[in-house]
């Protein structure tokens, strides 16, 4: 793909996003939930994000749809910087980017029928009086594999999988281009997970959707993603296509994470790498490479210098000193 075509094909560009929260007391430093993260999402792709809990992946997802404001940085959707939008412009942007949450029971109002719940996005945007809204809602429930009789039901009358289908229908109501799936199948039984994943795949093709797919389940992310981003302690440490990452992982953290995926094919099995120690607190991350306290390959440079995300192979980005021979420690970098 030429550079111009590639640029036209970018739906979202995250540019040095930081999301920092104030600590509980003055003594506590700020919590760097997302710390200087940049990447792009191409139109029609599923960009999966993996990482241990607390690595900032959900905060990042919520920031992409502006449920969370970034502390710094830009988020371009179709070249419009949504990070600085306010009021009616922000509301208009929400039509383009929606989110599906983890727990469908918690995000559907138990006092409203499914029809009333699906009417909410139209009410918020003043579209509920338009003449074909009712027909549109009927079309939506059928699109996600429910029947029109479900519209008169309340959330407690539906199974977990059916509730998540309602969550998906609600996210689709305003015809978004980008959907953030935040652990969208994690709360479901395994058999239902597969059905909902298949539904998301069908909808992606039918409606030309783009997904930012967050999951702690590496198998799920690996199954559904075109490209995968690996996060550790608020940083994106490796980004590559599914195929490239399957062939070779460069970052020691990715190597350890992916060694935990059970292999069906014995010949492809790799030895499980057990990381030592706890994930450090994002309010007091280690100096240099945040992973150096747990990395089996860490050296002096890792303790002092933060690695930059560099392209090690076409479209394969890694933040690790093992592959960056150009950056070295200078006198001023040593503070202790
Ligand atoms: Fe390990 Fe150093 Fe690479 Fe960080 S920069 S992942 S500590 S080798």
User: Does pLDDT of 66 surpass 80?
Assistant: yes
pLDDT confidence band for 1 (50 / 70 / 90) = low
Tell me the per-residue pLDDT of 10-65, one tens digit each, with 9 for 90 and over: 999 999 999 999 877 666 678 999 999 999 999 999 999 999 888 999 999 999 99
Show Cβ contacts of residue 271 under 8 Å, excluding neighbours closer than 6 positions: 259
When pLDDT is averaged across residues 211-224 and rounded to a whole number, the result is 89
Counting from 1 in the atom list of ligand 1, the atom nearest the Cα of 295 is 1
pLDDT confidence band for 201 (50 / 70 / 90) = very high
Taking the centre of ligand 1 as the mean of its atom positions, its distance from the CA of residue 221, in whole angstroms, is: 24
Of 102 and 178, more confident: 178
Per-residue b/e over 93-116, b at no fewer than 16 CB within 10 Å?
bbebbbbbbbbbeebbeeeebbbe
* pLDDT-above-90 percentage for the chain: 68
Which residue from 255, 285, 289, 327 has its CB within 8 A of the most atoms of ligand 1, so it is best to mutate? 289
Taking the centre of ligand 1 as the mean of its atom positions, its distance from the CA of residue 231, in whole angstroms, is: 14
Taking the centre of ligand 1 as the mean of its atom positions, its distance from the CA of residue 74, in whole angstroms, is: 27
Helices then strands (H, E): number in the chain? Answer: 12, 12
Q: Are 315 and 238 in contact (CB under 8 A)?
A: no
The residue among 44, 209, 188, 207 whose CA lies nearest residue 139 is: 207
Query: Tell me, what's the pLDDT at 133?
Result: 92
Range of 91-105, 229-243, 252-266 with top mean pLDDT:
229-243
Walk me through the domains of the chain, giving residue ranges and CATH numbers.
Answer: 3-96+176-333 (3.40.50.300), 103-175 (no CATH)
Q: Is the CB of 91 under 6 A from ligand 1?
A: no
pLDDT confidence band for 135 (50 / 70 / 90) = very high
Counting from 1 in the atom list of ligand 1, the atom nearest the Cα of 302 is 2
- Rounded to the nearest angstrom, the gap between the alpha carbon of residue 202 and the centroid of all alpha carbons in its chain is 19
User: Does pLDDT of 206 surpass 90?
Assistant: yes
pLDDT confidence band for 217 (50 / 70 / 90) = confident
Tell me the per-residue pLDDT of 182-192, one tens digit each, with 9 for 90 and over: 988 888 888 89
When pLDDT is averaged across residues 75-99 and rounded to a whole number, the result is 92
Q: Are 235 and 33 in contact (CB under 8 A)?
A: no
The full length of the chain comes to 336
Residues 207, 90: Cα–Cα separation, whole Å: 23
Taking the centre of ligand 1 as the mean of its atom positions, its distance from the CA of residue 289, in whole angstroms, is: 6
Q: Is the CB of 96 under 6 A from ligand 1?
A: no
Query: Tell me, what's the pLDDT at 257?
Result: 86
Taking the centre of ligand 1 as the mean of its atom positions, its distance from the CA of residue 247, in whole angstroms, is: 20
Tell me the per-residue pLDDT of 138-189, one tens digit each, with 9 for 90 and over: 999 999 999 999 999 999 999 999 999 999 999 999 999 999 999 888 888 8
User: Does pLDDT of 208 surpass 90?
Assistant: yes
Query: What residues pair up with 13 in beta bridges, in sequence order?
Result: 40, 76
| Main-chain phi, psi angles of 22, to 5 degrees | -70, 140
User: Does pLDDT of 265 surpass 60?
Assistant: no
Q: Is the CB of 294 under 6 A from ligand 1?
A: no
Query: Tell me, what's the pLDDT at 23?
Result: 75
Q: Is the CB of 252 under 6 A from ligand 1?
A: yes
Query: Tell me, what's the pLDDT at 263?
Result: 61
Q: What mean pLDDT is reported for the chain? A: 89
pLDDT confidence band for 72 (50 / 70 / 90) = very high
* Tokens encoding 144: 């996600």
Query: Tell me, what's the pLDDT at 331?
Result: 64
| Model pTM score | 0.91
Query: Tell me, what's the pLDDT at 230?
Result: 95
Taking the centre of ligand 1 as the mean of its atom positions, its distance from the CA of residue 37, in whole angstroms, is: 18
Query: Tell me, what's the pLDDT at 189?
Result: 87
């Amino acid at each position: 793909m030429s550079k111009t075509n590639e640029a036209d094909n970018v739906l979202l560009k995250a540019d040095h996003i930081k999301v920092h929260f104030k600590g509980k007391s003055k003594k506590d430093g700020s919590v760097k939930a997302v710390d200087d993260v940049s990447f792009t999402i191409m139109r029609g792709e599923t960009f999966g994000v993996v990482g241990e809990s607390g690595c900032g992946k959900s905060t990042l997802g919520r920031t992409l749809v502006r449920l969370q404001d970034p502390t710094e940085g830009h988020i371009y959707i179709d070249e419009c910087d949504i990070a600085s939008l306010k009021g009616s412009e922000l509301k208009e942007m929400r039509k383009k980017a929606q989110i599906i949450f983890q727990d469908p029971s918690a995000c559907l109002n138990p006092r409203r029928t499914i029809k009333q719940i699906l009417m909410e996005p139209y009410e918020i945007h003043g579209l509920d009086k338009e003449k074909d809204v009712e027909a549109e809602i009927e079309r939506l429930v059928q699109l996600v594999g429910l029947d029109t009789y479900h519209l008169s039901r309340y959330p407690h009358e539906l199974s977990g999988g059916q509730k998540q289908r309602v969550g998906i229908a609600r996210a689709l109501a305003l015809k978004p281009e980008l959907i953030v799936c935040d652990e969208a199948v994690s709360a479901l039984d395994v058999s239902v997970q597969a059905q909902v994943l298949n539904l998301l795949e069908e909808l992606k093709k039918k409606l030309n959707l783009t997904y930012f797919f967050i999951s702690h389940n590496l198998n799920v992310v690996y199954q559904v993603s075109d490209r995968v981003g690996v996060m550790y302690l608020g940083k994106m440490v490796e980004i590559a296509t599914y195929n490239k990452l399957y062939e070779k992982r460069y970052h020691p953290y990715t190597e350890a994470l992916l060694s935990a995926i059970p292999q069906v094919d014995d010949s492809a099995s790799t030895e499980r790498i057990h990381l030592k120690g706890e994930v450090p607190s994002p309010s007091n991350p280690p100096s240099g490479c945040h992973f150096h306290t747990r990395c089996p390959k860490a050296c002096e440079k890792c303790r002092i210098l933060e690695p930059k995300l560099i392209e090690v192979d076409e479209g394969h980005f890694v933040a690790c000193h093992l592959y960056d021979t150009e950056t070295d420690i200078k006198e001023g970098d040593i503070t202790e």
